A and B are shown apart, each in its own frame.
Chain A
Amino acid sequence: AQSVAQPEDQVNVAEGNPLTVKCTYSVSGNPYLFWYVQYPNRGLQFLLKYITGDNLVKGSYGFEAEFNKSQTSFHLKKPSALVSDSALYFCAVRDLLSGNTPLVFGKGTRLSVIA
């Protein structure tokens, strides 16, 4: 079975500071990992994904994420936070061995960037 955990319900960071939103996963095989962002009263938007290759993945809006197989983590990062980054962030995983099964999402982490 595949699962994903986002250990922080809320992350607060000052504008201009680096931000990290944590995600750990559990799969039987190799993972496909995704990050999505949700702004208020909107649907989720795709940010980035890791399928294979370079462990550092770059995505939309200056976000990046680092795949760490030994720690089974896929933390989302940004070097300098903006107030407009304030939103709900979801990590998701699909197990390569599970075939064409749907993504499993974490419970989400609310990011607040304070001016």
Chain B
Amino acid sequence: TAGITQAPTSQILAAGRSMTLRCTQDMRHNAMYWYRQDLGLGLRLIHYSNTAGTTGKGEVPDGYSVSRANTDDFPLTLASAVPSQTSVYFCASSDSSGFVGELFFGEGSRLTVL
């Protein structure tokens, strides 16, 4: 079972360029999430979606957008990248029924903005 698939694994991007990080899950989970991980700051939530067709803002949403057209896909777009968006990005999903489901994480996408 693939679980959560993220692409690309790693990317170097020039500042000002746009970039979409892809995330696909095959577990039919309702909820999906995007986190960024930075040294000393832990995991911070960027955006989330509790079900297809809905999205919400997390702790650090500025500079990022998401869409949830279907259950399986949850892409994260940087419209105009800045160096402070250099980070490791993790997509996650959960079967959110009863709010007790654990998160399943992808392997991450390492983004460097120069």
A residues with a Cβ closer than 8 A to B are 32, 34, 36, 41-46, 49, 51, 90, 94, 96, 99-100, 102-108
Q: Count the A-B residue pairs with Cβ separation under 8 angstroms: how many?
A: 55
Task: Give the complex CA separation of A115 and B40 in angstroms.
Answer: 26
Task: Give the complex CA separation of A62 and B44 in angstroms.
Answer: 28
A74, chain B: closest CB distance, angstroms: 14
Tell me the chain B residues, 91-108 only, with Cβ under 8 Å from chain A: 92, 96, 99-100, 102-108
Task: Give the complex CA separation of A34 and B100 in angstroms.
Answer: 10
- Contact pick for A51, options B40, B41, B100, CB 8 Å: B100
On whether the beta carbons of A100 and B104 are closer than 8 Å, the reply is no
- Contact pick for B102, options A49, A90, A96, A99, CB 8 Å: A49
Task: Give the complex CA separation of A57 and B99 in angstroms.
Answer: 18
On whether the beta carbons of B99 and A43 are closer than 8 Å, the reply is no
